[in-house]
Chains A and B, each alone.
Chain A
């Protein structure tokens, strides 16, 4: 049996609050928000993290793995400090997202799904982020950047590198 990770006290408090949003007999409903919490804590969803969540919602750990591996937002492996997701769905494709992706890839020296050697950046593609009037768009961690140009992308990366 995979040994579960333990949440910090602060995260545990949040987990309790999340669980309180659902009727006590339907704890499993909290699985997605709890996985988000786990990802905030540990950066990605390891089997140990899944076991932790399974313990909180009283279910078989494979049922958490079913969820954690289904949703694209949950990282199955460690990722860089900054996760960059370039939307590549049709409206952004029409506004030139391919060039944005290529620019990022060249600047960072990594391909799709890869992480820079220094662990600073992971480069991904995302499906439509519902900001089609502002394309091309890029999700940097929790923040959406819009109307991208290569220059603007450089500014974003410069800022992150300095930060």
Chain B
């Protein structure tokens, strides 16, 4: 069993109110800001983040250092910390926002200093009412303590940070959707190219959009030093501590901190205490609803971005949804699909039309009115959406769950159609074995039945 870590889950205020800046400072808080601003040049900081090997924690697993390096040489530049956590099954950002508001602020200050940014926003989803209040207070306290405002710590560096609330739309978590939302427009994701935020972002200027966990980790990297930080985990799977959130049918749901080498089996059975009622595992979504599902035969995988990618899945947000033998995979997929249909922003044709269409078909199947041709039709609609949308939404929560849950749990869907009712098959009969389907790289979620299985399945 991998060893649990206590870095991001450590309690920096020693039991005091997490928003209490004095308690936070007493525990060494804002040390990273002092270290960065007082003893490191911008170039040294950027090099430190590069050297740390950290991959962003927003879900795509993109190198943070590389993102920073891509920032166009134009000013002003802006920072947007993404706290629009809305990926179903993900709740690590909520934990950090609730317990470490000041560490997030620290990371934001350091990032802005490193990149020459004087104005930044933390985009917090609107339903996080208490978190928004707490973060507003944290920023105000940081300002009073001289960590924000003009001439921070007598370095000549000026910075203003503000909270910008969302209002309940998942698409605002997409970085260009977030920028549009912050500009006061409908949060339609932008075309990439040319609108890579680091080149043309908020108000047309170079903009860094980083997840709030990444922000907190930036403070950790400066605190620990890149050398020590990259000892945790691996380059391929991401260095540094990871926060894994277990939910669904586990005995002890919650956030668990490990490095990326921990296996899914260890997280489910050791960290989270196993399946409720000691039931059998039926499937597990390893990184938020968009992350392609894994069957019971696939859970010995390490949780790194690279390792999960090899299985055609992804690390995503580290939000792990565990489903036991009582779960109907048709219900589960319909739920995921309803989410996608509800949250599709409506900008581009394939997602706006295709995702709700799949939802209608799945609802029909759940109601016992599925037709022979519906499963192939679903896969065909997936194909028509995949890669054809403005942003990754159409495929991430839109297509990948359908394609993978449907392909891997094909027998259960077939049974619903044949018996014209919702059927929950015994676990062993419910899913295909890994030699019966294949993943077509490079994108996750692109699964298809192997020919012989398609034949056998009729």
Closest to A39 in B: B167
Q: Do A131 and B91 touch (CB < 8 A)?
A: yes
In the complex, how many angstroms separate the beta carbon of A120 from the nearest chain B beta carbon?
A: 20
* Chain B residues whose CB sits within 8 angstroms of the CB of A71 once the complex forms: 126, 166-169
Given A32-B165, A67-B186, A73-B167, the answer on whether A132 and B91 have CB atoms closer than 8 Å is yes
Contact flags B151-169 to A (C-beta < 8 A → 1, else 0):
0000000000010111111
Which residues of chain B in 86-112 are interfacial with respect to chain A, using CB atoms and an 8 Å cutoff?
Answer: 86-91, 93-94
Contact flags A31-49 to B (C-beta < 8 A → 1, else 0):
1110110000000000000
* Chain B residues whose CB sits within 8 angstroms of the CB of A127 once the complex forms: 86, 88, 168, 170, 339, 342-343
A82 within 8 A of B: no
Q: How far is the CA of A143 from the CA of B132 in the complex (A)?
A: 12
Closest to B98 in A: A131
Q: Do B126 and A91 touch (CB < 8 A)?
A: no
Report which B residues bind A (CB closer than 8 A): 85-91, 93-94, 119, 121, 125-130, 162, 164-170, 181-187, 203, 245-249, 253-255, 285, 289, 319, 321, 323, 327, 331-332, 335-336, 339, 342-343, 345
* Chain A residues whose CB sits within 8 angstroms of the CB of B167 once the complex forms: 32, 35-36, 71-74
Q: Do A130 and B91 touch (CB < 8 A)?
A: yes
Contact flags A79-118 to B (C-beta < 8 A → 1, else 0):
0000000001111011100000000000000000000000
Q: How far is the CA of A107 from the CA of B1 in the complex (A)?
A: 47
Q: How far is the CA of A61 from the CA of B182 in the complex (A)?
A: 18
* Chain A residues whose CB sits within 8 angstroms of the CB of B345 once the complex forms: 70
Q: Do B125 and A67 touch (CB < 8 A)?
A: no
* Chain B residues whose CB sits within 8 angstroms of the CB of A90 once the complex forms: 88-89, 248, 285, 289, 321, 332, 335-336, 339
Most buried by B among A26, A29, A31, A130: A130
A5 within 8 A of B: no
* Chain A residues whose CB sits within 8 angstroms of the CB of B129 once the complex forms: 142-143
* Chain A residues whose CB sits within 8 angstroms of the CB of B336 once the complex forms: 90
In the complex, how many angstroms separate the beta carbon of B146 from the nearest chain A beta carbon?
A: 20
Q: Do A89 and B127 touch (CB < 8 A)?
A: no
Q: Which of A67, A95, A128 contacts B339 (CB 8 A)?
A: A128
Given A93-B331, A130-B125, A139-B127, the answer on whether A30 and B184 have CB atoms closer than 8 Å is yes
Q: How far is the CA of A143 from the CA of B129 in the complex (A)?
A: 7
Given A73-B127, A131-B94, A134-B253, the answer on whether A29 and B88 have CB atoms closer than 8 Å is no
Q: Do A130 and B93 touch (CB < 8 A)?
A: yes
Q: Do B339 and A130 touch (CB < 8 A)?
A: no
Q: Do A26 and B246 touch (CB < 8 A)?
A: no
Report which A residues bind B (CB closer than 8 A): 21, 23, 26-33, 35-36, 57, 59, 66-67, 70-74, 88-91, 93-95, 126-135, 139, 142-144
Q: Do B89 and A28 touch (CB < 8 A)?
A: no
In the A-B complex, list the 9 residue pairs whose CB atoms are closest, starting with the nearest: A71-B167, A28-B184, A132-B247, A133-B253, A142-B129, A73-B168, A128-B88, A31-B184, A72-B168
Q: Do A133 and B255 touch (CB < 8 A)?
A: yes
**Interface class of chain B by DSSP:** mixed
Q: Do B94 and A33 touch (CB < 8 A)?
A: no
Q: How far is the CA of A31 from the CA of B182 in the complex (A)?
A: 9
Q: Do B247 and A130 touch (CB < 8 A)?
A: no
Q: How far is the CA of A96 from the CA of B162 in the complex (A)?
A: 37
* Chain A residues whose CB sits within 8 angstroms of the CB of B169 once the complex forms: 70-72
* Chain B residues whose CB sits within 8 angstroms of the CB of A135 once the complex forms: 247, 253
Q: Do B127 and A126 touch (CB < 8 A)?
A: yes
Q: Do B203 and A95 touch (CB < 8 A)?
A: no
In the complex, how many angstroms separate the beta carbon of B134 from the nearest chain A beta carbon?
A: 12
Closest to A88 in B: B335
* Chain B residues whose CB sits within 8 angstroms of the CB of A73 once the complex forms: 126-127, 167-168
Q: Which of B125, B186, B187, B248 contacts A94 (CB 8 A)?
A: B248
Q: How far is the CA of A90 from the CA of B321 in the complex (A)?
A: 8
In the complex, how many angstroms separate the beta carbon of B421 from the nearest chain A beta carbon?
A: 18
In the complex, how many angstroms separate the beta carbon of A79 from the nearest chain B beta carbon?
A: 14
Q: Do B130 and A132 touch (CB < 8 A)?
A: no
In the complex, how many angstroms separate the beta carbon of B346 from the nearest chain A beta carbon?
A: 9
Q: Do B89 and A29 touch (CB < 8 A)?
A: no
In the complex, how many angstroms separate the beta carbon of A14 from the nearest chain B beta carbon?
A: 12
Q: Do B184 and A133 touch (CB < 8 A)?
A: no
Q: Do B89 and A57 touch (CB < 8 A)?
A: no
In the complex, how many angstroms separate the beta carbon of B66 from the nearest chain A beta carbon?
A: 27
Q: Do B184 and A32 touch (CB < 8 A)?
A: yes
Q: Do A66 and B253 touch (CB < 8 A)?
A: no
In the complex, how many angstroms separate the beta carbon of A146 from the nearest chain B beta carbon?
A: 11
A-B contacts, 20 listed (Cβ < 8 Å): A28-B185, A36-B167, A66-B186, A67-B184, A70-B186, A70-B187, A71-B166, A73-B126, A91-B89, A94-B321, A95-B248, A126-B168, A127-B342, A127-B343, A128-B87, A128-B90, A130-B94, A132-B88, A132-B247, A134-B253
Closest to A128 in B: B88
Known contacts A33-B165, A90-B285, A95-B247, then 11 further A-B pairs from the complex at CB < 8 Å, ordered by chain A residue: A29-B183, A29-B184, A72-B167, A73-B167, A74-B167, A90-B289, A128-B87, A133-B245, A135-B253, A142-B130, A143-B129
In the complex, how many angstroms separate the beta carbon of B64 from the nearest chain A beta carbon?
A: 22
* Chain B residues whose CB sits within 8 angstroms of the CB of A91 once the complex forms: 88-89, 247-248, 321
